[in-house]
Amino acid sequence: MITKRMYSRLLLCSAFTILLNAMAVAQYQPGGAGQQQPNMPTQPNNPSTGSMGTDNSLANQQASTDQAFVRKALEGGATEMQLGQLAQQKSQSEDVKQFGQKMVEDHTQLGEQMKPIAQQLGVKEPKGPSKKDKQLIAKLEGLSGPHFDEAYIQAMVKDHKEDLKEFKNEAQSALNQNVKQAAQQGAGVISQHLQMIEQIAQNHNVATDGKSKTSASMQ
């Protein structure tokens, strides 16, 4: 015969068992306390601020660099031609005159190759040398004979070193394939010019570190 104390214990056990079952069921119900929340999907990159936006920005920057390179190359070529003509007029040395003539011929050809590319990129053809180059031309116009040769040789060594570096960099980084090809070809020509003028500098015992008397007097 079940006593009241035993009956109370049975009721307590039954209630505890029901509570455990209810908790177990709740764990598997949507929104239950024990349910593991799924990972939120990763939001896609905003085209305006994500990787696509960065790529577009870099492309636009390189396109501007290509345009600046073409413009500067045309200006530099115009300077080389004017200085080459000046060398043929003022120099008393045959090798300097021949180098000046080669500058006119080669840079005329390079300029003709660069002009269609400039039109493609929307770059206006410069009217002539840059302001800085015009100052160099004016200074050399006031010299003659050995003084002209020394100053001209120094200017050519310096300019061709700078130009060769710029052309090589553009040949590697240009976005426009026509610009890249023109830079590669130009770098080869400029490299030959640099070798020639450095040899002429040795033949004339001209210092190319910018510390000679003639260079100092032109400052």
Kindly state whether residue 43 falls inside one of the protein's structural domains: no
| Residue 55 is assigned to a structural domain of this protein | no
Residue 41: pLDDT above 80? no
Average pLDDT over residues 25-40: 49
Does residue 142 lie within any of the structural domains? yes
| Residue 3 vs residues 10, 13, 14, 15, 142: alpha-carbon distances, Å | 11, 16, 17, 19, 131
User: Which whole-number Å values give the CA distances from 114 to 50, 65, 70, 102, 204, in the listed order?
Assistant: 36, 15, 7, 18, 34
- Domain total in the chain: 1
Widest CA span in the chain: 139
- The pLDDT value recorded for residue 63 is 86
| Domain presence at residue 88 | yes
Q: Identify whether 129 is part of a domain.
A: yes
pTM for the predicted model, two decimal places? 0.69
What pLDDT, on a 0 to 100 scale, did the predictor assign at position 4? 53
162 located within any domain: yes
Q: What is the gyration radius of the CA atoms in the chain, in angstroms?
A: 39
The predicted-structure confidence for 60-69, as pLDDT tens digits, reads as follows: 787 899 999 9
Residue 124: which domain range?
62-218
Q: For position 210, which CATH number holds?
A: 1.20.1260.10
**33 with 26: CB under 8 angstroms?**
yes
CB atoms within 10 A of CB 42: 6
Residue 33 in any domain: the answer is: no
- Domain assignment present for residue 94? The answer is yes
